[in-house]
Amino acid sequence: MTENTSKDNQIPTNLNEPIEEFKINGAKITVLGTAHVSRESERSVKNLISSRQYDLVAIELCEGRYRNIQNPDAFVNLDLWKVIKEKKTALIAANLILGAYQNRIAEQHNVAAGAEMLAAIKYAEKFKLSIDLIDRDIGITLKRTASSLSWWKRFNLFTGLFYSLISKDQVDEKQIENLKNTDTLEEIFSEFSTHKKEMFVPLISERDLFMSAKIFDLSKENPGKNILAIVGAGHLKGIKSEIKNIEDSKKIIEQLNRIPKKSKFIKIFPWIIVFIILTGFFIGFSKSTDLGIDLIFDWIIINGGLSALGAILAGAHPLTIIVAFLSAPLTSLNPTIGAGMVSAGAELIIRKPQVKDFKRLREETTKITGWWKNRVSRTILIFIFCSLGSAIGTYFAGFQIFEKLTN
């Protein structure tokens, strides 16, 4: 049961942020909308919590982002080889790019990225208030976003995000305040992508519903309490709308935490490519030994060459470049292991990242040159570029083989 309410205790009048109030399950809910790089939002959070009207504070963070925002050196404990083996490299890269974009805006205006969330944590702890994390895990959100896009749109999105690193555009105070009309993730993604409609559901609508369900749970667990929820202002309208219709919050949270399974075709497609390539070699050798050798030579040069080119572009060690060239023609015939994994593994052995690389990772990746300077981010680039080079090489070499067989 949800109803609007005018609180017995007055909200501080010196607030410029959008705010909504209503009652759910006997609890009083105040939802404050903020911009994540706004000094005004930071001030509003401080004033609201310091008013001592609230019994607990809910914030738009997940466990991972909560740990990272409290501990800037969290990457020191990152097991990079484990990240590579578990195929989470793209996820880490996306997180770094998103953080870099936000930090760049924050630096322009001398304010910490996520300052209002830091203020919420600081003042909630100061007044001994419970802190509840209500956002969905960023990894699940990004995976659900990726699953809603075709592979070409994913590539377009990722390159657009990477372009944000080299963009020199300045963001003025007016534009920062306009962030209160949207969400940070939506703003970052939509600025560099033409696929806004496909991204809106997992990035915004689903998170509106997820956070509504979390707030609903908090209200059931804390009847008669005053709850302050601090979220990006782009979620305010959605939360107000969604929370009215919630009946089974647990079911909603469970459904929105699911990662869509890949279709059977997607799973077997790489093996189909391997079968076609091997069939091409067989047909080539059945026609003549010279033709078969020629096809294998093309496969090695094109596939290995483009993977090695990726390693060169990523600034890999010369030995890593050789590994990329030699491994790509073999790993492309075994979808369970990739040239990017082998090449990044070689780079880790040859130029193992030092503690200082992990400590400086966030700072150095705010600039495009920092990605090549830092050993951690450079290894990530090697994985991505070598994987991409080998994938492109597989198709180019495949077409070359087909062309020679049909001539």
Per-residue pLDDT of the chain (407 residues; tens, 9 = 90+): 555 544 445 566 556 678 899 999 999 999 998 876 677 888 899 999 999 999 999 999 999 888 888 876 667 777 888 888 888 887 788 778 777 766 766 666 566 667 889 999 999 999 999 999 999 998 898 888 888 777 777 776 666 666 666 555 555 555 555 555 555 555 554 444 445 567 778 888 899 999 999 999 999 999 999 999 999 888 888 999 999 899 999 999 999 999 888 778 888 988 999 999 999 999 999 999 999 999 999 999 999 999 999 999 999 999 999 999 999 999 999 988 999 999 999 999 999 998 888 888 888 888 888 899 999 999 999 999 999 999 999 999 999 999 999 87
Q: Which residues contact 147 (CB under 8 A, 6 or more apart)?
A: 259, 260
Please, which residues bridge with residue 229 across strands? 31, 58
- 386 close to 340: Cβ distance less than 8 angstroms: yes
The enclosing H or E element of 2 equals strand 2-4
Closest CA to 193 of 227, 149, 236, 131: 149
Confidence at residue 193, expressed as pLDDT on a 0 to 100 scale: 44
Confidence at residue 167, expressed as pLDDT on a 0 to 100 scale: 58
CA pair distance 178, 168, nearest whole angstrom = 19
Q: Which residues contact 58 (CB under 8 A, 6 or more apart)?
A: 131, 132, 133, 134, 214, 215, 218, 227, 228, 229, 230
What's the alpha-carbon Rg for the chain, to the nearest Å? Answer: 25
Task: Write down the pTM of the prediction.
Answer: 0.79
Q: Which residues contact 256 (CB under 8 A, 6 or more apart)?
A: 136, 206, 209, 210, 213
